Amino acid sequence: MALYFGDLLPYSSLLLEGLWTGLYITLVAMLAGSALGVLVYLGKVGPGKPLSVLCTFYIEAIRNTPLLVQLYLIYFALPALGVNLEPVWAAVIGLTLNNAAYTAEIYRAGFESVPRGLREAGKALGMKPAQIVRYIILLPATRNVFPALTNQLILLFLASSIGSIISLPELTNAIMSVSNTTYRTIEVLAVGGLLYLAVSALMSLISKRAETTIFRWAVGTHV
């Protein structure tokens, strides 16, 4: 068969719109999810026993089930309880709840990687508790979690494609509808795949750059 990309030209704006929707939802879910993740993490390590059990259960339940099933529960099961959601809202809520569990685990790993001796050293130097939290816990922990968080952003962007199954009009959805109208399946999948690849490569490039500029003072060293 001969490949012909010309048929796709009229649909390029549809594809780009899809890409934009996917990016937009990813960013919203990343911001909301990593904020919610902080709460989940604090709930897990906090003193309240029932809350801690609940947060642990939440993290494990999300991390051990597929995102698609979580989206199905939100999109198909909630209407049975009388809550009807647009695909966009279902996707945003699903990705946010999903992301919160993963970021909570990232925070845990990041904070656990700051050795206890460092905190004691801060105390010995006569630092105030607020200073210890800021300079000795938050800064090294942020640096430790930053690469994992940007990685999570890329994974989340790729996962936003799953929204197409609940008819969210993002890139994969656009790819399939263009494929259905033009029958240029290979071509549109190749173009769509390259769009995904370009954006995720760009995200990874920017985050590597950001890593070296923000944490210039200790690149490549682990506390």
Cβ proximity to another protein, 2 vs 130, nearer residue = 2
Gyration radius from the chain CA atoms: 21
Q: Is 181 in the site for another protein (CB under 8 A)?
A: no
Q: Is 110 in the site for another protein (CB under 8 A)?
A: yes
Residue 107: HSE in the Cβ half-sphere, 13 Å Cα cutoff = 21
Cα separation, 221 vs 38, in Å, equals 25
Q: Is 158 in the site for another protein (CB under 8 A)?
A: yes
Cβ proximity to another protein, 25 vs 145, nearer residue = 145
Contact partners, residue 70, CB within 8 Å, separation at least 6: 62, 94, 97, 98
Contact code string over 86-105 relative to another protein, x by CB under 8 A: ------------xx--x--x
Q: Is 179 in the site for another protein (CB under 8 A)?
A: yes
Q: Which residues of 103-134 are buried (b: 16+ CB within 10 A; e: fewer)?
A: bbbbbbebbeebeeeebeebeeeebeeeebee
Cα separation, 97 vs 30, in Å, equals 10
DSSP 223: -
Contact code string over 38-57 relative to another protein, x by CB under 8 A: --------------------
Cα separation, 29 vs 23, in Å, equals 10
Q: According to CB under 8 A, which residues from 182 to 201 bind another protein?
A: 185-186, 189, 192-193, 196-197, 200-201
Q: Which residues bind another protein (CB under 8 A)?
A: 1, 60-61, 63-70, 72-73, 76-77, 80-81, 98-99, 102, 105-106, 109-110, 113, 144-145, 147-148, 151-152, 154-156, 158-159, 161-162, 164-165, 172, 175-176, 179, 185-186, 189, 192-193, 196-197, 200-201, 222
